[in-house]
Every structure is written in structure tokens, then in C-alpha cells.
Amino acid sequence: MRTVAVLGGGIGGLAASYYLCKNPQVTKVVLLEFSSRFGGWVWSSRRSDGTVFELGPRGIRPAGAVGRNTLNMVEELGLGTEILPVPFSHVASKNRFLYVKGKLHRMPSGISGLLRTVPPFSRPLLFSIATEILVKKGTNDDESIHSFVSRRLGKEHRGSLTLGMLLGSGPTPTVSAGPLAQRSIKESWAQWSLKRGMESLPESLSDFLQRSGKVELHRDAAVRQINPSAAGWTVQLEDGVVSADHIISALPAKALSSVLPSCCRPLVQQLQDISAVTVAVVNLEYEGGILPVTGFGHLVPSSEDKGLLGVVYDSIPFPQHNRADGPTTRLTVMMGGAWFQEAFGPPESVTAESLLLRATGAVCSHLGVSAAPSWSRVTLHRDCIPQYQLGHHQRVESLRSFVKDNNLSLSLTGSSFDGVSVNDVIFSGRTAVDQLLGGGV
Ligand SMILES: Cc1cc2nc3c(=O)[nH]c(=O)nc-3n(C[C@H](O)[C@H](O)[C@H](O)COP(=O)(O)OP(=O)(O)OC[C@H]3O[C@@H](n4cnc5c(N)ncnc54)[C@H](O)[C@@H]3O)c2cc1C
């Protein structure tokens, strides 16, 4: 394998390039990113006074093989000293709330909490879980996440699945734990971030790739079309052409569908069927400690408010990201998801002012905070989280079978296919490389 082109410089494309770069069989990697920065949705806003706000992911789970895999990568990149761990004993791990019927309700934890009927639930959670274990699997081979969670936890839980999906899922391969992952187990971490924010991870990855001398990194390089050639592929950019023996696509499914050649036409509709939802992220900073409760944050079921997904109390798990000179509270209000259009109308006509008003209104009514925030930032993430609808896994299998049956030297990776959490996306990049070049996890 001489040259591999990687399409898309989000965390998925960066991870795939990283694993390619470490493999001696690969001579050259060309990473092509549409925008002017690498990292995709992994995006931190850093103020000059040291405050960090996350516009995308804010916490990564260390658990499981995919969690260990990311920690091994973090360690290899030399980011181990930057880690901000949050153990299970931390209040942010213990306290999570639901906003139901105008009140915050702590979600039960531990066995006694599971045995009692705790408001606002209509029956003990253990009952729901036992029913899930005893109840026959749905008749569909591939139940939608929505129906699975509704069946499992009762309909009170059905809201905010967009946030729920971020909690991670997916395969359970074997990955050995390096020293950092071992530390996470010993210290019982529930999640972690990085001192300068999550964006340090894509930044370190792109530095690593740059230093390797093996990877050409291109920003502002929108892929327009890919075409098979005698030697593999040609990748058409706005202002040039790249030749490659193999392509790893880490593009969102819809973006990939629009660059495929005519021989891949059967893939187009299937890729377009992998839809993604729009989320408005409103970062807020308040002066002083303003929260009436302490914990990770609260979720808002769609039955309560279709527009609001939840409020994350960022200052509680990661006070290190607060402004240094005095007590402040950082919150993130997440809005939209599957109900974006219904709640706010078409994304192109929603204004930042209206989203800010809605977010501060929620903070006021849910948390009793009537003070205005001292700082705010509104970001509209269009089509940012793929929704795995009924039949997703069969669809992905069928896409990959087409590629295989037609001997296309193409790998599909990223959040559109194998899980949306950062861990899943990184692991998807690794799996694509392992399958291309051999090598085990
Ligand atoms: C608001 C939010 C909060 C989240 N919170 C968490 C969390 O707390 N924990 C967690 O684990 N996960 C979280 N996630 C999920 C996780 O961040 C994403 O699933 C993951 O970052 C997606 O990575 P990706 O590389 O697959 O896709 P992307 O980040 O979408 O990257 C794809 C890249 O392809 C580029 N591209 C598109 N078209 C072209 C083209 N034609 N040519 C070249 N390049 C192109 C794009 O510019 C982009 O950089 C969150 C996501 C969001 C949006």
C-alpha cells in the first residue's frame, strides 16, 4: 500500500491517519479537510483569560475497549499530563437530574434507588430493567434506539436520546490497557477531559501527523468527486487532483454520497438515508456560584419541552476550565436534536438571539437563575449527530458488502457508521486501518 487518501479531518479522519502513519506498509497519507481547521465537531473555544468552553464533546468515557483504546492514543501523543479525570465518587458522576413537571428530579443511583419508586417515575427502575431482561427482544433484528430505550426504561425516559447516544455503545473488542488506561481503572474514572479542552486531542494528532513526515495535511481542501483509476483512485479537489491506491472516507454519510462516482450510484440513497440532527449549543458564563443543585446536569424529556435537550453544569466536573479570577459558573444548554425543526423552524432562519433567549429562559425557569449571563456564545451545529434509525446496522453492512463485492479500494469510517461517541469514532478509524492492512487490535 503506497498512498492512502483520507477524506475528512474530523477526529475520525485524524484517527485513521494516525493508525495508517504508524503502519510501516504505508508510504504516504494525504488527509483532505474541507474547512480551515482539523477536529470537526471536537471544538473548544479558549478565551484569552484561560476559560475553556466546549462547543462539541466535553467528556470522554474511559470504560470498555474503545475507552482504553482512546486513552492509549492519548498517552502515545504525550497528552497524559493534560488529563482532567472525573472519578465515579465525584458529585458530577453521582448526580444527574431530570426536569419533569416544572421540577428537577435526581435520577436514582445504586441498588436502593433502583428498588424504590422515585418521583417522577411511575414504577421502580429495577422493574423496568428486569422487564427488559425478561421481555423478548423486539421482533425487528435491529431495533431503533428510540424503541429500545422506550421499551427498556418506560416512556418517561424517551426524551433526549440525542444526548443519550453520546454516552457510547458499539463493539466490545479486546484492547489492552496501557499505563494511563490502567490508572483510569485504578482511580475509577467516570469521564475525562483535557486541560486546554477536548480540541487538544485533534491538535496533538495533527502535530503528530505533521512531524511523522509521512502525512500531507490539507486544510481548505474540499473533496468534489472521487473516481476510480487504473492505479486506484483520483480525488478531485477545487484546485487539483490527488491520486491514491486506497481511500478511507471519514466524511459524514451525506457528504460522501455527493462525491461518489457513477459506479457507486447504488450507495447514494443508502448513504443519504443516514440522516443527522441539528443541535444548538449555547455556552453561558455566570458570575458566582449560581446552581441550586450540584451534579453533571439535567436532561429534559421531549414530553416536557421538545426544543430543549438538557443543561450541562460544566463547572462541576471541570472547574479547571473556569475563569481563574473569582467564582463563576459555566453551563451549556443543548437544544434541538430530532425536534429542531418542530421547535425552532428551519435552521437557516433561526437567529442566535432567539436561541440565546430560549437558553437563558430555561436556566431561569429550571434553575431559578434570573441574573443575566456575563458571557455567552451560541453555535448552531447543522446535521451534527447521525441518527441510527431502524435498520442502520443492516444498511451499513449492505454498504460495505457493495464495496467488497465491487472490489472498491474504499473504507467507510466515522460517526455515520459505527457509533457517534468520540471513542467509537476513533475506534472506527482504527478498525478501517486494521482491516486494510491486517494487524489486530
Ligand atoms: C454538540 C455535540 C456534543 C457532543 N458531545 C459528545 C461527548 O460529550 N462525548 C462524546 O464521546 N461524543 C460527543 N459528541 C459526538 C462526537 O463529537 C462526534 O460524533 C465526532 O466528533 C464525529 O467525528 P467524525 O470525524 O466522525 O465527524 P466530523 O467531526 O463531522 O468530521 C467530518 C469532517 O469532514 C469534513 N468534510 C465534510 N465534507 C467534506 C468534503 N467534501 N471534503 C473534505 N472534508 C469534508 C468536515 O469539515 C469535518 O471536519 C458530540 C457531538 C456534538 C455535535
Is 118 a member of any domain?
Answer: no
Determine the distance separating the centroid of ligand 1 and the alpha carbon of 11, expressed in angstroms: 7
Same domain flag for 29 and 83 = no
Q: Are residues 296 and 373 in the same domain?
A: yes
Looking at ligand 1, which residue's alpha carbon is closest to its atom 12?
Answer: 421
pLDDT at 422: 98
Q: Are 291 and 328 found together in one domain?
A: yes
Is the model's pLDDT at 96 over the cut of 70? yes
Whether residue 184 is found in the same domain as residue 215: no
pLDDT, position 172: 58
At 371-381, the pLDDT tens digits run 999 999 999 99
Is the residue at 113 inside a domain? no
Return the ligand 1 atom nearest residue 423 CA. Answer: 11
**pLDDT higher than threshold 90 for residue 188:** yes
User: Residues 29, 76: one domain?
Assistant: no
Q: Say yes or no to pLDDT of 137 above 90.
A: no
Mark whether 373 and 327 lie in a shared domain: yes
29 with 64, same domain? no
Q: What are the beta bridge partners of residue 337? A: 278
Cβ within 8 Å of residue 40, ≥6 positions away:
8, 9, 10, 11, 12, 13, 56, 202
Model confidence at 195, in pLDDT bands (50, 70, 90)?
very high
Q: Which residues line ligand 1 (CB under 6 A)?
A: 7-13, 32-35, 40-42, 56-60, 166, 222-223, 250-252, 255, 259, 279, 281, 381, 384-385, 414-415, 420-422, 425
User: Which residue, by CA, sits nearest to atom 52 of ligand 1?
Assistant: 56
User: For 36-54, what is each residue's pLDDT tens digit?
Assistant: 999 999 999 999 999 999 9
Asked if the model's pLDDT at residue 262 lies above 80, the reply is yes
Q: What is the mean pLDDT of the chain?
A: 89
Lowest-confidence region among 82-91, 114-123, 245-254, 369-378: 114-123
Q: Give the Å distance between the CA of 424 and the centre of ligand 1.
A: 12
**What is the best residue among 38, 41, 379 to mutate for testing ligand 1's pocket, by most ligand atoms within 8 Å of CB?**
41
What's the 119 CA to ligand 1 centre distance in angstroms?
36
Count the alpha carbons within 13 Å of 168 in the hemisphere toward its beta carbon: 23
| Angstrom distance (rounded) from CA 317 to CA 59 | 9
The CA distance from 56 to 41, in Å, is 5
pLDDT band at 174 (very low <50, low <70, confident <90, very high): confident
Average pLDDT over residues 170-185: 86
Tell me: pLDDT of 404 over 70.
yes
7: closest CA among 312, 276, 322, 244?
A: 244
Least confident range from 143-152, 225-234, 339-348: namely: 143-152
Residue 181 shares a structural domain with residue 232: no
The best mutation among 71, 412, 422, 423 to test binding of ligand 1, ranked by most ligand atoms within 8 Å of the C-beta, falls on 422
29, 209 contact by CB (below 8 A): yes
Structure confidence at residue 268 (pLDDT):
96
> In the predicted model, is pLDDT for residue 164 greater than 70?
no
Q: Which domain holds residue 170?
A: 59-100+129-196+276-386
Q: What is the mean pLDDT of residues 6-28?
A: 97
- Window from 149-153, 293-297, 383-387, 433-437 with minimum mean pLDDT: 149-153
* Omega before 252 within 30 of 0, i.e. cis: no
List pLDDT tens digits, range 282-337. 999 999 999 999 999 999 998 899 899 999 999 999 999 999 998 999 999 999 99
Q: What percent of the chain has pLDDT over 90?
A: 81
What pTM value is reported for the model? 0.90
- pLDDT at residue 138 in the model: 45
Domain co-membership, 220 together with 349 = no
| Atom nearest to 223 CA in ligand 1 | 42
pLDDT at 111: 52
For range 59-80, the mean pLDDT = 97
User: Cα of 415 to ligand 1 centre, how many Å?
Assistant: 7
Atom of ligand 1 nearest to the CA of 386: 19
pLDDT at 214: 96
Is 308 exposed, middle or buried (CB count within 10 Å of its CB: 0-12, 13-18, 19+)? buried
**Cα(101) to centroid(ligand 1), Å:** 34
What is d(CA 310, CA 332) in angstroms, rounded to the nearest whole number? 8
Distance from residue 8's CA to the centre of ligand 1 (Å): 9
Centre of ligand 1 to C-alpha 41, Å, is 4
Q: Which atom of ligand 1 is nearest to the CA of 414?
A: 26
Domain match, 315 and 417 both? no
Closest-lying ligand 1 atom to the alpha carbon of residue 422: 11
Domain assignment of residue 49, yes or no: no
| pLDDT confidence of residue 227 | 96
* Tally of domains within the chain: 2
User: Is 348 found in the same domain as 226?
Assistant: no
